[in-house]
Amino acid sequence: QPHERVDIALGERSYPILIGPHLLEDDELLSEHIAARNLLIVTNETIAPLYLRPLQTALKQQRTAAVVLPDGEQYKTLDTLSRIFDALVSERMNRDAAVVALGGGVIGDMAGFAAACYQRGIDYIQVPTTLLAQVDSSVGGKTAVNHPSAKNMIGAFHQPRCVIADTATLHTLPEREFAAGIAEIVKYGLIYDPAFFVWLEEHAEALLKRLDSAVIYAVRRSCEIKAEVVGIDEREHGLRAILNLGHTFGHAIETASGYGNWLHGEAVAAGMVMAADLSERLGWLPGADKQRAIALLKRFNLPVDPPRIGAERARELMGLDKKVLDGKLRLVLLRSLGKADVVSDYSGEAFAATMRTHF
Ligand code: NAD
Ligand code: ZN
């Protein structure tokens, strides 16, 4: 299959992201990029009936075993993780075995963390099947499970050997999940690449129809931007924080509405509108540019208004966010369409006005 390739260089290691349709059925490509002879495929009950058999068939050169987990963020726990360890042990997987994550971000995060821990670290390969996983969670090497008190509290940095983003799998993705992934794609344009933002405006229809060429380009450009940002700042001190545009406001939305009522990407979309609003109040972003961002998100059927939870409540929820340093709320704001900055010295009055207007 023809495909695109983005190389991620982190420290001394580098690995490819391969992007294109039907890659998980491409036995030649898989054997070229997956060296391990013994593989444990980690997937869930929704994805297994769709893609497990084709993947196992294509991996005919290897010995594969599979563990099929229940579907849902609520299962991204230590309990579920131990089921992956049980499978690794009972299938007699050794240090030279690898874990294959077949699924969305939940599966990728858990399978990656299992690989980071098992026998002090074995290889893993990401086969992301959601748009969000293809453009975000499978890139950057963050792995984790949730603690009952907070998301992603227990985790590790562990880079995959390669990422195989089969864009044909996106055709079975529910519309809301697809749109939630687009929110993160719009984010990349907003924080880093004005030309990509314009490309998204011009190709919104094609993307909504999930046309191969549009989807492949959007995934590739998103991975390039994330790779660039993460590569410059692998352990999250400065630049990497711009990836959190809309996420602090979004975190309040997700928490207030209960996980699952608002998809992560939906909350980020409304959160980015709030960030744009505050940027406008600070005199950085022209009102017309804020409107362009809102219009683009709306075209993708993403929500642009948060639920009315009240500014006080929202403030509390944002205060609990782990992105807060020294009690000072650092926010990612827009200097222009395509350029973001992390700031903590914005006026409290402007911030209060954004909170009052939206929450
Ligand atoms: P998800 O993994 O829950 O997938 C969403 C839903 O789509 C699930 O029901 C899943 O079973 C289903 N699904 C997956 N692929 C499908 C397909 N091809 N066809 C039909 N249905 C399919 O959610 P997500 O949005 O992919 O990922 C969210 C998770 O990612 C969160 O846990 C979040 O913390 C994590 N995340 C991690 C990072 C990181 O850097 N590691 C970054 C962003 C998000
Ligand atoms: Zn996100």
Tens of pLDDT, residues 190-211: 999 999 999 999 999 999 999 9
Residues 249 and 353 placed together within one structural domain of the fold: yes
Residues 253 and 342 placed together within one structural domain of the fold: yes
How many CB atoms are closer than 10 A to CB 116? 20
Which atom in ligand 1 lies closest to the alpha carbon of residue 130? 15
Backbone CA torsion sign across 273, 276, 282, 288: negative
Residues 231, 225: Cα–Cα separation, whole Å: 10
How many CB atoms are closer than 10 A to CB 100? 30
| Predicted local distance difference test score (pLDDT) of residue 233 | 64
Residues 318 and 193 placed together within one structural domain of the fold: yes
Identify which of 44, 32, 171, 174 has the alpha carbon closest to the alpha carbon of residue 102: 44
Residues 156, 114: Cα–Cα separation, whole Å: 10
Q: Which of 137, 152, 169 is the last residue of a domain?
A: 169
Domains: count for the chain: 2
Residues 280, 333: Cα–Cα separation, whole Å: 9
CATH of the domain at 148: 3.40.50.1970
pLDDT over 60 (residue 321): no
Only one residue has tokens 């294109």, namely: 20
Residues 134, 163: Cα–Cα separation, whole Å: 8
Residues 163 and 204 placed together within one structural domain of the fold: no
Q: Give the pLDDT band of residue 106 (cuts 50, 70, 90).
A: very high
Q: Which of 142, 169, 196 is the last residue of a domain?
A: 169
Residues 58 and 205 placed together within one structural domain of the fold: no
Residues 57, 183: Cα–Cα separation, whole Å: 34
Residues 76 and 192 placed together within one structural domain of the fold: no
* Residue-range definition of the domain harbouring residue 254: 175-358
Residues 73 and 205 placed together within one structural domain of the fold: no
Helices (H), the chain: 27-33, 53-58, 78-90, 105-117, 131-132, 175-192, 194-202, 204-208, 212-232, 247-257, 264-281, 287-299, 311-319, 348-358
Catalytic machinery residues = 120, 142, 184, 226, 236, 240, 244, 247, 251, 264
Residues 315 and 337 placed together within one structural domain of the fold: yes
pLDDT over 60 (residue 56): yes
- As for ligand 1, residues whose beta carbon falls within 6 Å of it are 44, 46-47, 50, 71, 73, 76, 103-107, 109, 129-130, 132-133, 136-137, 140, 142, 151-152, 169, 172-173, 177, 264
- Between 354 and 237, where is the model more confident? 354
Residues 179 and 163 placed together within one structural domain of the fold: no
Residues 157 and 225 placed together within one structural domain of the fold: no
Residues 142 and 238 placed together within one structural domain of the fold: no
Q: Which of 131, 153, 169 is the last residue of a domain?
A: 169
Beta bridge partners of 69: 44
CATH of the domain at 277: 1.20.1090.10
- The DSSP call for residue 39 is E
pLDDT in tens, 159-168: 999 999 999 9
Q: Report the share of the chain in percent with pLDDT over 70.
A: 95
Does pTM surpass 0.90?
Answer: yes
Residues 164 and 226 placed together within one structural domain of the fold: no
The whole-chain average pLDDT of the chain stands at 93
